Structure 1
């Protein structure tokens, strides 16, 4: 989702608490104890906890999931306090999203079963719901899935329905959990516009295959009538390691298009999936993404092409 470059980080903190499952669980294990602690502090301080209080009563007792999230996303007591002072409404509103979790859990259980049938190797670690510094809405690595409650609740530009937003974002991030190449370091010469766009596009395809919609359906609104223009520009940049025009470039409050590489990568991935005689094998190849250019060439995708509306790729939205 919104700017979540996946830096390599020590995973030992999660190793003891994550039970990676070979098959789909009956429902996702959604961890919320960090949110409970944060809002106990939030209530006790009238919505204005100090840096010292956030450190002592929230971060000092962090679960391994919150510790990992904080390390990945540079979350500190100071950064949380600064965001509360700057944008208190998102922390106040976020509590309402907690009431959505039972329905989210029910819908995810059905989506997990679909995903396991499409990709038997799928892994389903717990979903850790945490409170951070207002971003990102979600991030993942091979051993964990993290959702920023306040960030995702505020992200109505992605999808105005908050329950759909939670389901589809979590499924997008579960796509990243499966990807061997989803962890990368900034400056890696192999981290090209094409590779990153396909990593994100495949995650969007997985969300669609398992829930009926991509993680961020709002991206499609900016592309209507401009498909060929956008994708021709994308094709010129596929070997670039400058991602700034195509990924992780959302600016809060801006109406400018952002993350269009997600949209193009999804269209390439979907074209590849639809043309395959063996779609289970094709999905596996997309997830493993050993050769992005080979995927591009085999997909049949061309700038501005009309995407087949293949209902077989979709499941009911829940």
Structure 2
């Protein structure tokens, strides 16, 4: 074999290997968008429906029965945990917000072409934690009940109907109780931060005890802190992080809130005071902020920063993170 031919085969082999590695790298962060296209195909068919039975038949055959694994897992969670009637939930939003979905179609139908930037965040995580194995992320259309979440054990579901917008999004049909959506300025960048936040939960090695304020604060706080660490400070306030009213409240009531938090760690019956309750005297889900501050303090207090990041990624011992932070100083 001549040197030129041999060189050609060597170069070809290198290029082929490089291409194969690149394809494999893309597979490690798979983004699934089929539900979005199925949803808009379903809407176009429903325009010709002549009865409720026709509408429900199209909804089921063209969307629900074609659901991705992620959408199926999410809908099953909503049925079992929140007793949702899935057909009625979708029927409600289809009838109530046709202008909204029409205005969002150019943005949502092109979603796969807007996701390439997200991969850089995952590469940063793998630089620190090479063992990270990311799950598929499912971009779907729900019924305005979540912007995105991890469905246990490791399904990443993104509700695009509630998580991104443009200046052409039409909110004219929404009643006052949807102000949380109408006033939310989230963009495609914020969606990327949320995707990272939820994927970080899949790397955590502990499932938070249902009634443990500490476990929940650390698992959520770590995801918020690490999203900021890998994506930048702009991710901190928004759908992937904490709310500005948490920061403002803590700034005005620092000693009180940290003293009460420390006391409540021994009182799991006060869990709803810190997480997912509109009846708390604190800003909604204030526990995210408390956990974020603890994890940030832990990181700043460690000499080996890379090891600290690894510990915050895997979260196999929330108590260790807590005890090696400067938590007590927050209440001074």
Q: So what's the TM-score if we normalise by structure 2?
A: 0.71
Alpha-carbon distance, 1:160 to partner: 1.9
CA distance in 2, matches of 1:289, 1:199: 7
1:289 and 2:315 are equivalent in the alignment:
yes
Report the Cα distance in structure 1 between the residues aligned to 2:127 and 2:33, rounded to whole angstroms: 28
Q: 1:204 to 1:134 in 2, by over 3 A?
A: same
Q: Distance in 1 between matches of 2:277 and 2:100?
A: 21
Q: Give the 5 Å matches for 1:159-238.
A: 160-182=185-207, 191-212=211-232, 213-214=235-236, 215-217=239-241, 219-224=243-248, 225-228=251-254, 229-238=256-265
- Does the 8 A contact of 2:258 with 2:331 survive in 1? no
Moved more, 168-177 or 136-145: 136-145
Once the two structures are superposed, residues 179-229 of structure 1 have per-residue CA deviations (whole angstroms, 9 ceiling, x without a partner) of 1224x6xxx5x6311111111111111211111123545513343233513
Counterparts of 1:228-267 in structure 2 under 5 Å?
228=254, 229-239=256-266, 240-249=268-277, 257-267=283-293
Q: Which runs of 5+ in 1 are unaligned?
A: 1-22, 307-318
1:253-280 deviation line (CA, Å, top 9, x unaligned): xxx8212111111111111112111222
**Aligned counterparts of 1:303 and 1:100: Cα–Cα separation in 2:** 48
Q: 1:57 corresponds to which residue?
A: 62
Aligned length: 276
Cα displacement (A) at 1:242: 4.2
Residue number in structure 1 paired with 2:72: 67
Contact residue 201 and residue 262 of structure 1 kept, 8 A: yes
Per-residue deviation, 1:31: 0.9
1:129 counterpart SS class:
strand
- Show the 5 A alignment for 1:11-50: 25=26, 28-46=29-47, 50=55
Note the aligned Cα RMSD (angstroms): 3.3
Equivalence for 1:315: none
**TM-score when scaled to structure 1?**
0.74
In the aligned structure 2, how far is the partner of 1:134 from the partner of 1:146? 13
Deviation at 1:115, TM superposition (A): 0.8
1:230 offset after TM fit, Å? 2.9
Q: Does the 8 Å contact 1:52/1:77 carry over to 2? A: no
Give the aligned partner of residue 277 of structure 1: 303
Q: Pick closer, same or farther for the CA change 1:238–1:133 going to 2, 3 Å.
A: same
Using the alignment, how far apart are the partners of 2:146 and 2:203 within structure 1?
A: 19
Q: Which runs of 5+ in 2 are unaligned?
A: 1-23, 166-179
Q: CA deviation at 1:52?
A: 3.8
Using a 3 Å threshold, how does the CA distance of structure 1 residues 47 and 247 change in structure 2: closer, same or farther? farther
1: CA distance, partners of 2:136 / 2:298: 30
Q: Distance in 1 between matches of 2:158 and 2:246?
A: 26
More helix by share: 2
Deviates more, 1:90-99 or 1:145-154: 90-99
